[in-house]
Amino acid sequence: MKLHYAWAAIAVIVIASTAGDVLLSRAMKQVGDVGERWRRSGLVSVIARVLRNPNFIFGLLAMSAAFYSLLFGLSWGDVSLIAPASASLTFVANAVAARFILHERVDGRRWAAALLVAAGVVMMAI
């Protein structure tokens, strides 16, 4: 039963952190290159522009949800299962989400990288 809870926590972590990454990425693309914007109109204006972006706020909320699910997950299951399983599944989920939601061109090179990194995270944990 505890194992079911652990995998439920992993699923919530993966969904929340993927949603967070996608929303943050979309927000920052809307904001534009922060380095150039900083040089043109100053740091305060960049920060104000980022904080006014609704995608950024929702992304931040999703990231916090993922972080708290991780804390709760760690109270139900082993860190050696939850941390690597959620981290590596998040890499694969992010590649899928980037392709179909952000419409990034995830070519063979990037699919391979997502799978290699995900496998590497698992290997480092066992």
Partner 1 sequence: MTPRKYLVLAGVTVFSAAGDSLLSVGMKQIGGIPLHDFRHLLLAILNPWVAGGILLLIAFFASYTSALSWADLTYVLPASSLGYVLIAFIARFGLHEQISVTRWIGIALITSGVGIVAGGPSLTPPHPVVRSAAPIPSSAASRGKP
* Site residues for partner 1 per CB under 8 A: 21-22, 24-25, 28-29, 31-36, 39, 50, 56, 71-72, 75, 91, 94-95, 98, 102-107, 109-110, 112-117, 119-126
Nearer to partner 1, 11 or 50 (CB): 50
Q: How far is CA 112 from the centre of its chain?
A: 18
Least gap, CB of 87 to partner 1 (angstroms): 8
Q: Considering the complex, what minimum distance in angstroms separates the CB of residue 1 from partner 1?
A: 19
Distance of closest approach, residue 3 Cβ to partner 1, in angstroms? 19
Nearer to partner 1, 11 or 113 (CB): 113
Shortest Cβ distance from residue 108 to partner 1 (Å)?
Answer: 9
Task: Identify which of residues 10 and 114 has a Cβ nearer to partner 1 in the complex.
Answer: 114
CA dihedral 71, 75, 78, 79 (to 10 degrees): 20
Distance CA 32, CA 51 (A): 13
Q: What residue type is assigned to position 88 of the chain?
A: S
Residue 65 or 110: the one with the smaller Cβ distance to partner 1 is: 110
Q: Which secondary-structure segment (H or E) carries 46?
A: helix 43-51
Q: Which of 123, 89, 95 is nearest to 110 (CA)?
A: 95
If residue 53 lies in a helix (H) or strand (E), which one and from where to where? none
